[in-house]
Structure formats: structure tokens, C-alpha cells
Amino acid sequence: MSAEPDLYDVVVIGGGPGGSMSGTLLSDFGKRVLILEAEKFPRYHIGESLLSGTADLLNRIGVLDRLESDGYIKKHGVEWVWGENRVPWTVYFKDALAMPYDYGYQVERGEFDKLLLDNAREHGCEVREQHRVTDFEIGEDGVSTVTFQNADGVSTTVRTRWIVDSSGQGGLVTKRLHEQHWDPYLKNLAVWTYWTGAERPPGLDAGNTFLPAFDEGWWWFIPLRDDITSVGMVVDSKVLHENRGKGMEAYYADCLARTPELAQRLAGAQRTDEIHVARDWSYTYDKFSGDGYIAVGDAACFIDPLFSTGVHLAMLSGFLAAVTVNTVLDRPEMDRDEVLAFYESTYRKEFERLRAQVYFLYGGHGSSKDSYFWHARSQFEVPEIEPEKAFISLIAGAFQHRSWYSRYLRQLEVPEELRTTIEKIFEGKSTGVGVDLHQPVVLSPDITYVDDLAVDGAYLRRARSVVTPSGTTLPVTPQLEGLFALVDGARTSAELVDELARGQAPSHESAQSLVHEAVSYGLLRPTD
């Protein structure tokens, strides 16, 4: 009688950033994890620019210091030549809302992805490279099977309590079980190669991404180590057919000649690689999860690379997926559908926020940078945020202000400067447009309460949130409840600050920030 196949808590299909992130955290949470990767790392992959928000996720799994010691290029911002004129403008991540790091990294993905996968091994994951998944079956008894082949073609089947689909744009699980929806407006093509000797700005700007637009699309200029620069363009996919005769080499050179700001940087440079071409169509699946499986990164959705969000969304979804799966496996008293719905809605919302801004920039070659800033402001959940800060926060991958993450942050030992930054988001602002500090305030009649979920360490837990008049959801903390209890229609904003500072608030500054936040979100309003 043959032995029953091995049983794992989680099998992760794909060892890229999303798979490594989810596998590492699940192993940290005490789960037996198998990561199956079809290729041998390092392997070449495009998508070399990381957001500053990704640094927080890298720190969460203990690899941020390695990027520093390995000498990866830091990027402190993004320079644009975009809009109604050709005057360059630069935004810096230091100006984003509540960011713990004011820089991201430019990475060679082969080595970077290997670092993440090796780190997953070090955290206890069983990692098998050159093992391609050929089949899976979702079991009705809570145990599924995954079948894979090694490099010699030998097939093996294992059992697992849960599957994480991190198979990239192949979407192994999602492609079989769900419907893929292609974005009709973002069917683009990426065309790129590598150069040495490209001109880089001096000082802190040397590692910044450069994004100049031209008539048919836009370019990326990404400085890498060893004087290598990745230079590519994103254009409508129809150009491949239209230029089939003269070839993409000639088309690349022609577009470069029509982008003088970029041509100047490459005037003394030498090309070191062939021209690469890849389809870059954006899409989502109609569902990201189900009983027994969850999809992360490109296996769930893919967005145009304008904001360099690929690795960030993969690792952010890997983080969310790990906490979600851990909750499903260890907390059977939690409603499974509700837990999975939290993951899906949270990930989809981050994706859609970025997609909306990509739409706007693609349609905005005749617009001004100020219009981009104001549109980004409409995507944010902080009503009083400055438009430029909203734009920077969006492209930096800022997520600390989200209610689900702000709850999580309170459970961490984080640097005091980060905690202070978040607590004082509204410090120095007014207490709301047209609100007098010395005018009595009342609770808005337009607020409602909902029961939802929040990240609490390794698990999701039930939480109560308040929905503001603008539709934003904020966590109901003991401090916020204490503030609401003090609002009687007679006290002014200034008096509420003083009352909180004398009681439950740890300091006058934190009390002031709380009142500022409540008024700015419309939770409190002046008496008639």
C-alpha cells in the first residue's frame, strides 16, 4: 500500500516577490510551507524600479538591510517630462504622506528575486526550484492536491490545506477557475534594452527614475548598478504590427530621436543588449480567491507599469494574503467568506486607485502637472491632503494611512519618528475648512458604523469602523470613542483637545491630531 502524499499547510505556486513574501510570512506564522518555482533563480525579469512604500514590506521580512549592503541604487524621486509643456518636474518620496522611508530602490530583478526566495528558505520555507506545477485539485474536505514535475520530468503530488497562486501572468489557478477581464484602454507594448555610460543627474537625483513622454507613449530611464541603465518605452500594441516591416530596432531609434530630453542623456552612451519586446496588457480576474486558494500579484491583476507598481502590488498582496490565509487556517470561528472578502476588497481597491491615476495621466498629455496632483487627491482617503502630496503618496505606494494598516501599525515596534509622523498627519493644518477653533462642534448626523476586519499581527480580527460623510472608513479606536463621548455641542475644538490631553490622550499633540483628524474627515462639524 502506497504512502499518502505529504501534507503541507500551504503550497505557494511561484517564487517571485509575491510568492516569497507570502511564503516567508506564513512560515514565520508557524506554517509548513512549500514554494514551487518553475525556473532556476536568478532568472531575468523586467520590472526593476521599486516604490518607497515597498521598503516597508522588505523590512517586514528582514531583507531591507541586504539591499543597502549589496549596493542597489537608491531612488529618491521621479522626474517627469509630461503634460502641456516640456519643462521637467520632479517629485520626491520624502514629501509623501506618512512614509517610513523616503527612498525606493532600482534593482536587477534576477538577483533581487533570488534574494527574496533565498530569504524564504532561511525563514523555514521548503523551496523547490525547477519544479513546474502541472495540475491541482481543490478538495472539498479542506485538503487540496498539487502536482508538479522536476527538471527530469518526474511527477509528484502533495496535499495542502491551502494554495497561494503566485504564478504571475500565467495565473495557473485563477485562469482555470475564473474569468479574466482585459482592460480595453491599457493594451500596450513594452520595448526596451540596456545602455552603459548614460548621463545621470548629480547628487541625490542620480538614482531617480526619469519618465519622459512623447507623441506615441512614454519612456522609462532606470539607473542600475555597474553603470547600467534600463531604457524602455510603453506604446500602444498596434505599433508592433505597423512596424513589422522596418522592425522594432528602427522603431526604437526613431522614437528615441523624437524624445530630445532622453536622447541627450544617451548621446555618449553605448547599447549593451538586444531589443526586448513584451505585451503589457492590463487585466483583472473576476475573483482573487475562493475556498482553498488565494491569488497574489499578477495572478490576480496586472496594471500598466507607469508607476512601477508590479513588485509593490505583489508584495503588498503577499502580505495581505499571508495574514488572510493564516486566519482561515487557525481561526475557524471566523467567517471564511468574510475573511476572503476582506483580502479581495483591500487588494482590488489599491489596484483600482492606481489604475484611475494611470488613466488620467495617459489622457493628460495636454494637461498640467497641477491637474495630475488634483486628480490624485480625488483618489485619496484623506480629504484635507494637499494635491501634490496626494500624487506623491500615490506613486510612492503609501498605505500607512489606510484604516486596516493603521490598526496593524499599532501592534508593531516601529521607529518613534514613524509613529509620530502618522499621529501628526494633520498637525499644523486647520481643524477643517471654515472651522473656528473656538466654535462649538457636534457629531455629524451623516456618520455610520460598520463591523469589519482589521490586521492584528499575524491574524485578522473583528473591528468596528466609522464611515465618514465622504465615504472613508476609519477605525474606531478607544481614543476616538473617548472624543465622541466628550462632544456635547457646547465644547469647542480647542476645549476638546484640552479635555483629551487631561485624560486619555498621551500628550497634547496627539489630542490635537485626533481632533484635527475628526474635523477634517467631517466626523465633527460646527454647530449651526
Buried b (16+ CB within 10 A) or exposed e, 430-468: ebbeebeeeebbeebeebeeeebbbbbebbbeebebbbb
Residue type present at position 349: K
How far from 215 is each of 82, 90, 187, 257, CA to CA, in Å?
11, 21, 17, 12
Asked if the model's pLDDT at residue 361 lies above 70, the reply is no
Distance CA 232, CA 276 (A): 9
Q: Poorest-confidence range of 27-41, 244-258, 319-333, 418-432?
A: 418-432
Number of C-beta neighbours around residue 489 at 10 A:
9
Q: Poorest-confidence range of 331-335, 376-380, 410-414?
A: 410-414
Asked if the model's pLDDT at residue 499 lies above 70, the reply is yes
Distance CA 438, CA 490 (A): 10
pLDDT per position as a tens digit, 372-403: 444 444 555 555 556 555 565 555 555 444 44
Positive or negative CA dihedral for 357, 363, 368, 369?
positive
Number of helices (H) and strands (E) in the chain: give both, helices first. Answer: 17, 24
Distance CA 448, CA 486 (A): 18
User: What is the percent of the chain where pLDDT is above 70?
Assistant: 83
HEC secondary structure over 41-101: CCCCCCCCECCHHHHHHHHHCCCHHHHHHCCCEEECEEEEECCCCCCCEEEEHHHCCCCCC
- Asked if residues 115 and 59 have their Cβ atoms less than 8 Å apart, the reply is no
Asked if the model's pLDDT at residue 410 lies above 50, the reply is no
Grid coordinates in use for 290? 475562493
More confident residue, 293 or 6: 293
Residue 266: what are its φ and ψ, rounded to 5°? -105, 10
Mean confidence (pLDDT) of the chain: 84
How far from 295 is each of 19, 34, 246, 343, 406, CA to CA, in Å?
10, 16, 40, 10, 24
User: What is the percent of the chain where pLDDT is above 90?
Assistant: 54
Asked if the model's pLDDT at residue 85 lies above 90, the reply is no
Distance CA 461, CA 106 (A): 36
pLDDT per position as a tens digit, 439-495: 899 999 988 998 888 888 899 999 888 888 767 777 788 888 999 999 999 999 889
Positive or negative CA dihedral for 333, 177, 135, 37?
negative
pLDDT at 382: 53
pLDDT at 138: 96
- Asked if residues 258 and 215 have their Cβ atoms less than 8 Å apart, the reply is yes
**pLDDT-based confidence at residue 8 (cuts at 50, 70, 90):** very high
Asked if the model's pLDDT at residue 427 lies above 70, the reply is no
DSSP β-bridge partners for residue 155? 149
Q: Is 104 helix (H, G, I), strand (E, B) or coil?
A: strand
CA-based angle 390:392:395, to the nearest 5?
110
- Asked if residues 145 and 139 have their Cβ atoms less than 8 Å apart, the reply is yes
pLDDT at 472: 72
Grid coordinates in use for 249? 530596432
Region 333-351: what's the mean pLDDT?
Answer: 93
Largest CA distance in the chain: 82
pLDDT per position as a tens digit, 294-314: 999 999 999 888 767 889 999
Asked if the model's pLDDT at residue 229 lies above 90, the reply is yes
Positive or negative CA dihedral for 178, 183, 187, 191?
negative
Distance CA 81, CA 66 (A): 33
pLDDT at 430: 30
Asked if the model's pLDDT at residue 510 lies above 80, the reply is no
- Please enumerate in sequence order all residues whose Cβ is within 8 A of that of 521, keeping only pairs 6 or more positions apart, or say none: 383, 468, 469, 470, 472, 474
pLDDT per position as a tens digit, 243-295: 877 888 999 999 999 999 999 999 999 999 999 999 888 999 999 999 999 99
Strands 77-81 and 209-214: parallel
DSSP string, 248-306: HHHHHHHHHHT-HHHHHHTTT-EE-SPPEEEEEEEEEES-SEETTEEE-GGGTEE--GG
pLDDT at 64: 94
- Asked if residues 27 and 123 have their Cβ atoms less than 8 Å apart, the reply is yes
pLDDT at 365: 44
Structural domain boundaries of the chain? 7-73+104-179+285-351, 414-526
Residue 308: what are its φ and ψ, rounded to 5°? 55, 50
Strands of 366-487 (E only): list them: 441-443, 448-456, 459-467, 473-475
Region 76-90: what's the mean pLDDT?
Answer: 83
Rounded to the nearest 10°, the torsion over CA 361, 362, 366, 367 is: -10
DSSP β-bridge partners for residue 442? 525
Grid coordinates in use for 276? 526586448
Distance CA 37, CA 118 (A): 12
**Most confident region among 175-184, 420-429, 470-479 by mean pLDDT:** 175-184
Question: Which numeric CATH code is attached to 414-526?
Answer: 3.90.930
pLDDT at 61: 96
pLDDT at 377: 44
- Asked if residues 134 and 38 have their Cβ atoms less than 8 Å apart, the reply is no
Asked if the model's pLDDT at residue 65 lies above 90, the reply is yes
Question: Which numeric CATH code is attached to 7-73+104-179+285-351?
Answer: 3.50.50.60
Closest CA to 53 of 396, 346, 379: 396
**pLDDT-based confidence at residue 84 (cuts at 50, 70, 90):** low
**pLDDT-based confidence at residue 83 (cuts at 50, 70, 90):** low
- Asked if residues 358 and 375 have their Cβ atoms less than 8 Å apart, the reply is no
Asked if the model's pLDDT at residue 133 lies above 60, the reply is yes
